[in-house]
């Protein structure tokens, strides 16, 4: 800056000397003035040209740096270029943060819609688009009220009271597959609103299941309690002989046992849902578990025969295929025995006296353990099959109470099998009986050393 001023005055002095001594004018100072004026004009034009280059570069916005200039204009160009680079970096950083923020909102399981003060859609993520059927490319700048026509939302939006959420039907809601969407508005800025949406279908279904569960448990417990209370009142108010007292006490015991069974099944389900997954390192011999189940089944048949006069026993058979000899399965032994016993006891209870119940254990074509229980009972209609594993679901409630069922057995079986990575299947034909079976994956199976050696010996003999 100072060098520039020094040079300017230096040229003026030189020009004044030249004009005073070398111009043929009568007045020396006039020559000096003319030369200095000429130098000032040249200096101005030269400086104006340099300034124009800087202005043109700023105007066009070249990215390859300012024009090469020295002095004040060169330094100004470099400083402007540096500030321009910093500003550009800040803009790029801001754009990146904005894109990261929008990407995060796009990945959110909750829907987000930005609404302008005039009610038009400014932006929406994919989740909200799926919830409400909005196409951002097509519906941007459209009024949200024209797209979401549910009367509940219309009333909510018009109330201007947004301290709560409302639930409406989703865009793809169907009768057999409902979709329930919760949405809430949050005012911000100058009349703008933020809409948040979320899928609450599972929550509402869980609430319905909870209410049904409480109602079913209450009903199941109320019935035996009513019977017990009636018998107690009878015994308190009436003089009964020994035989009548014995009969009433047996009926009371039966109802108490029924409640106890119900409570035990509920505790079993709660334990299954709250406990960690079964270990894949503890193996149990299938033959031993089948022997325990067979003993329990024989005991149940004896109990049924003792409680019913003229009871004709079932034909109960257990089939352990040669391929499953020495088979061991990894998991929780008590849970697996419970699942097997539940299927067997269900078949015995619901199969008429004298019927056949066949229990088999084998290895299927995929190398999985297949356990099945086949009976010659009355069978089950096809419309009931998908719901048999629901808690307290019964095809025939009166028959279930007669057989002592709680409606939780198959739910327990399903939980146990799923916890062990298996799959439960049910096949039934009215009047021809049913087949309840499950498979466990090969990853939970192994054979004992004895079985492997026996197999090798048979192969060598062959």
CATH of domain 108-199: 3.30.450.20
pLDDT per residue over 306-349, tens digit each?
Answer: 766 666 778 889 988 887 788 999 999 989 999 999 999 889 88
Phi, psi of 247 (to 5 degrees): -65, -45
Question: Residue 192 has what pLDDT?
Answer: 92
For the cut 70, the answer to whether the pLDDT of residue 25 exceeds it is: no
Range list for CATH 1.10.287.130 in the chain: 205-275
Q: Percentage of the chain surpassing pLDDT 70?
A: 83
Mean pLDDT of 63-90: 75
CB 346 within 8 A of CB 409: yes
The DSSP line for 233-302 is HHHHHS---HHHHHHHHHHHHHHHHHHHHHHHHHHHHHHHHHSPPPPSS-EEEHHHHHHHHHHHHHHHHH
For the cut 70, the answer to whether the pLDDT of residue 456 exceeds it is: no
For the cut 60, the answer to whether the pLDDT of residue 459 exceeds it is: no
Mean pLDDT of 78-88: 79
CB 93 within 8 A of CB 99: no
Question: Residue 43 has what pLDDT?
Answer: 66
For the cut 70, the answer to whether the pLDDT of residue 23 exceeds it is: no
Question: Residue 383 has what pLDDT?
Answer: 85
* Residue 184: CB atoms within 10 Å: 15
Distance separating alpha carbons of residues 388 and 411, to the nearest angstrom: 8
Identify the architecture of domain 205-275 in CATH: Orthogonal Bundle (1.10)
Q: Could you tell me the CA-to-CA distances from 432 to 65, 90, 123, 312, 399 in Å, in that order?
A: 90, 78, 60, 19, 18
Residues with Cβ within 8 Å of 272's Cβ and at least 6 positions away in sequence, in order, are 335, 412, 415, 416, 419
What residue spans of 351-404 are helical by DSSP H? 397-403
Distance separating alpha carbons of residues 54 and 47, to the nearest angstrom: 11
Range list for CATH 3.30.565.10 in the chain: 278-462
Class of domain 278-462: alpha beta
Distance separating alpha carbons of residues 320 and 371, to the nearest angstrom: 10
For the cut 80, the answer to whether the pLDDT of residue 200 exceeds it is: yes
pTM of the model: 0.56
Distance separating alpha carbons of residues 390 and 387, to the nearest angstrom: 5
Range list for CATH 3.30.450.20 in the chain: 108-199
Mean pLDDT of 285-304: 88
Mean pLDDT of 390-403: 63
* Residue 135: CB atoms within 10 Å: 11
Residue 455: pLDDT band with limits 50, 70, 90: very low
Question: Residue 181 has what pLDDT?
Answer: 92
Among 162-171, 390-399, 424-433, the range scoring the smallest mean pLDDT is 390-399
Burial (CB count <10 Å: 0-12, 13-18, 19+), residue 420: buried
Question: Residue 375 has what pLDDT?
Answer: 93
- Locate 393 and state its tokens: 């679901």
Q: What does pLDDT average to over the chain?
A: 81
Q: In what order do the strands lie in the sheet with 356-363?
A: 315-320, 356-363, 369-375, 433-440, 423-429
């Amino acid at each position: 800056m100072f060098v520039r001023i020094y040079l300017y005055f230096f040229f003026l002095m030189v020009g004044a000397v030249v004009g005073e001594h070398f111009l043929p004018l009568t007045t020396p100072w006039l020559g000096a003035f003319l030369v200095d004026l000429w130098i000032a004009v040249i200096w101005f034009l030269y400086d104006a040209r340099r300034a124009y280059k800087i202005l043109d570069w700023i105007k066009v916005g070249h990215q390859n740096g300012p024009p090469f200039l020295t002095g004040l204009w060169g330094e100004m160009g470099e400083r402007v270029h540096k500030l321009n680079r910093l500003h550009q970096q800040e803009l790029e950083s801001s754009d990146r943060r904005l894109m990261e923020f929008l990407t995060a909102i796009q990945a959110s399981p909750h829907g987000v819609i930005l609404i302008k003060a005039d009610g038009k859609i400014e932006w929406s993520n994919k989740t909200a688009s799926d919830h409400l059927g909005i196409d951002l490319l097509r519906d941007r700048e459209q009024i949200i009220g024209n797209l979401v026509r549910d009367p509940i939302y219309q009333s909510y939006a018009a109330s201007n009271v947004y301290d709560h959420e409302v639930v409406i039907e989703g865009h793809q809601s169907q009768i057999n597959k409902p979709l329930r969407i919760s949405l809430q508005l949050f005012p911000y800025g100058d009349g703008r609103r933020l809409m948040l949406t979320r899928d609450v279908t599972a929550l509402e279904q869980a609430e319905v299941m909870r209410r049904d569960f409480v109602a079913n448990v209450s009903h199941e417990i109320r019935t035996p309690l009513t019977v017990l209370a009636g018998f107690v009142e009878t015994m308190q108010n009436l003089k009964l002989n020994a035989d009548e007292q014995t009969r009433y006490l047996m009926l009371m015991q039966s109802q108490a046992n029924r409640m106890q069974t119900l409570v035990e099944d509920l505790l079993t389900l709660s334990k299954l849902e709250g406990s960690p997954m079964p270990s894949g390192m503890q193996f149990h011999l299938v033959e031993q578990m089948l022997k325990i189940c067979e003993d329990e089944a024989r005991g149940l048949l004896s109990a049924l025969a003792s409680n019913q006069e003229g009871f004709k026993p079932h034909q109960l058979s257990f089939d352990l295929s040669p391929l499953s000899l020495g088979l061991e399965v990894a998991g929780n032994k008590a849970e697996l025995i419970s699942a097997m016993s539940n299927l067997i006891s269900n078949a015995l209870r619901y199969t008429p006296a004298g019927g056949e119940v066949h229990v088999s254990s084998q290895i299927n074509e995929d190398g999985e353990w297949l356990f099945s229980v086949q009976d010659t009972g009355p069978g089950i209609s096809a419309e009931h099959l998908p719901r048999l594993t629901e808690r307290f679901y019964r095809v025939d409630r009166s028959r279930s109470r007669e057989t002592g069922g709680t409606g939780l057995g198959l739910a327990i079986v399903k939980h146990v099998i799923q916890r062990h990575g298996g799959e439960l299947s049910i096949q039934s034909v009215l009047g021809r009986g049913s087949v309840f079976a499950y498979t466990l994956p090969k990853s939970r199976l192994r054979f004992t050393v004895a079985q492997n050696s026996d197999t090798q010996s048979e192969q060598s003999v062959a």
